[in-house]
Amino acid sequence: MADSNFTVMVVEDEDLLLEAIGKKLQQVQMFPILCRSGKEAVDYLSAHEQVPNAVWLDYYLKDTDGLALMTLLKQNPKWENIPVVVVSNSASTLKVNNMLALGAKKYLLKAEYRLEDIVDIIRQLNETK
Amino acid sequence: MDILVLGMVFFILLALVIGVIISRVSKSSKLEEELREEKELTHAIVASMGEGVLVLDTDYDIKLINPQAEKLLETTAKEAVGQKWAEFVKAYVGDQEITFDKRSSVKTLASGEIKITSIGDDHYYFTRSGRKFPIVAITAPLKREGKVVGVVKVFRDATHEKEIDRMKTDFISLASHQLRTPLSAIKWFTELLLDPAAGTLTMEQQGYAAKIAVSTDRMVSLVNSLLNISRIESGRIMIDPKPTDLLELVESVISELKRKMDTKGHKFIINTIDKLAPIPVDPKLIGHVYANLIDNAIKYTQDRGDISVFISKKNDEIISQISDSGFGIPVNEQQKLFQRFFRASNAIKHVTEGSGLGLYLVKAIVESSGGKIWFKSEEGKGSTFWFSLPIAGMQPKKGEVSLDS
């Protein structure tokens, strides 16, 4: 599938994981925007007119968390419709319910999924949008 | 002369009678003294025990309370004796009050069985000044001539144990979550390595990388098991009962295990004796119990074996039976089966992977659902596991976490 115009913003503060995700997205012809913190993500979104097709969001970030970032996205009419997939180390019922209530499309447990599986989920989200 | 003899005989007789009476009296006063001493000793033992002791009669009225129980419950014997125990001191599981018929004393009196309340049961007493403290307790029937005439309860304040238990659980939880980050990195880079897009590996290299992938997944599931155990043990797990058709639940579990079962060519039968009405259980928790027991049956049975699930009703319980024609469990290892990290010696030979945590978790789930689990097994013939669930179902419980999260 040639998705060269398909951009995925990845917000993940673990460098190694960010690198692996970026490589995978490039391999499947998606365009990754790699952000190491919540601030980098917001700065990028604010500076660019074009919004990404999807956000791959880690829940625990060094400067913020998924809940705060998600709330921020939902408050901005330009960003509120970007589909968000949370990929986290911890999926307590409370966190999952909160994120889904805020409009996250999926909440995935990091170590349970292969990169390929997560990419497929993001692709399907875009098709059903 | 005759009178003299008669007088002497009379005197001797009198002396004998007096002697007998005196000895009787001294014997009975000795008995009384022994009795008193014994009573005092019993009283002293009960009074100096570091645990709280309560004796209730068959109406659940407090008959006896020792000083430690007075102290813990912030009361006096004068105030407490004669009071209804269940009203006098409220008991809680977590933050939920225990209803009268679920109180240990009521259960013990009805069943005549000893009930042990351990730290994992998450029991609390609520004193009238508003102090809530965790307890561990043993509630035993007080028997006289084979008849239950009351209840003896020995309990203590478990605040310290609770704290240590919480620290242990927090540590396991934190460590396991931390492990997931490097595990994800290993998993994802192995995936990239095996992807031809990163360049071609030799067959041998591919084989090695595939083994890394398999081992990583094993580690991931081990971390999940540890987390599940820490959740169950901490009592923080939420219980969300929904009316559940157990047969349907087993079928949904089977659909995930079907591939595994087909690969080994097992024959699978599922049956129920009568139409079972849905019972309120947490499908996630009980689904985990079925999945684990059936998965064990698949793993520990040689190819083309027989596996069956049978669900029946007995009195006020639903009994689920999971049988296999597998390797069985050696008799001398059977008592260790539900221990953490235990794996049977023959199981290890046949299936190298496995954490020894599955049955431990299953037992914890069943018991926290008000049920029991037991088994029969013969080496070389197979194993049958049974677990019971109360027909009334599980009590809902608010919690922060659920299984596999």
pLDDT band at A48 (very low <50, low <70, confident <90, very high): very high
Q: Which residues of A touch B397 (CB under 8 A)?
A: none
Angle, vertex CA B317, rays to CA B141 and CA B300, nearest 5: 105
What local confidence, expressed as pLDDT, does residue B152 receive? 96
Residue B395 above 70 pLDDT?
yes
Domain extent, residue A49, equals: 7-128
Give domain status of residue A106, yes or no: yes
Give residue limits of the domains in chain B: 1-48, 51-157, 161-236, 237-405
Query: Residue B238's closest chain A neighbor by CA?
Result: A93
Query: Is pLDDT of B91 > 70?
Result: yes
β-sheet with A31-35: strand ranges across: A31-35, A7-11, A54-57, A84-88, A106-109
Give me the residue label for tokens 């071609």: B200
Q: Which residues of A touch B187 (CB under 8 A)?
A: 111, 114
pTM comes to: 0.70
How many contacts does A have with B, using Cβ atoms within 8 A? 60
Cβ contacts of B7 within 8 Å, gap of 6 or more: none
Per the rule left: phi > 0, alpha: psi between -120 and 50, beta: everything else, B60 is left
* CATH architecture observed for domain B51-157: 2-Layer Sandwich (3.30)
Percent of chain B exceeding pLDDT 90 equals 62
Residue A2 domain-assigned (yes or no): no
Q: What is the ipTM of this complex?
A: 0.93
Matching fold, domains B51-157 and B161-236: no
Angle between helices A115-128 and A15-27 (to 10 degrees): 60
Q: Which residue has the higher pLDDT, A97 or B354?
A: A97
pLDDT in tens, B106-118: 989 888 889 999 8
Structural domain contains residue A1? no
Task: Dump the DSSP string for A63-106.
Answer: S-BHHHHHHHHHHSTTTTTS-EEEEES---HHHHHHHHHTT-SE
Q: With a cut of 90, say whether residue B191 has pLDDT above it.
A: yes
Average pLDDT, whole number, for chain A?
A: 92
pLDDT(B65) > 50: yes
User: Can you tell me the mean pLDDT for A19-41?
Assistant: 96
pLDDT, tens digit (0-9, with 9 covering 90-100), for B221-265: 888 888 888 888 777 778 889 999 999 999 999 988 988 899 999
Contact predicate B292/B358, CB 8 Å: yes
DSSP element (H, E) containing B13: helix B2-48
Tell me which fold the domain B161-236 belongs to. Helix Hairpins (1.10.287)
Chain B, residues 158-217, CB within 8 A of chain A, namely 177, 180-181, 183-185, 187-189, 191-192, 195, 197
Asked if residue A70 belongs to a domain, the reply is: yes
Higher pLDDT, B119 or B203: B203
**Strand pairing of A31-35 and A7-11?**
parallel
Total of domains in chain A = 1
Q: Where residue B44 falls among pLDDT bands split at 50, 70, 90?
A: very high
Beta-bridged to residue A60, according to DSSP, are: A65
Whether B323 contacts B305, CB under 8 Å: no
**Per-residue tokens: B165:** 């238990």
Residue whose C-alpha is closest to residue B301's, from B232, B347, B345, B262? B347
Higher pLDDT, B218 or A54: A54
> What pLDDT, on the 0 to 100 scale, is given for residue B169?
79
Nearest alpha carbon to residue B359 among B308, B291, B292? B292
For chain A, give the number of residues: 129
Topology given in CATH for the domain delimited by B237-405: Heat Shock Protein 90 (3.30.565)
- pLDDT at residue A3 greater than cutoff 60: no
CATH for A96: 3.40.50.2300
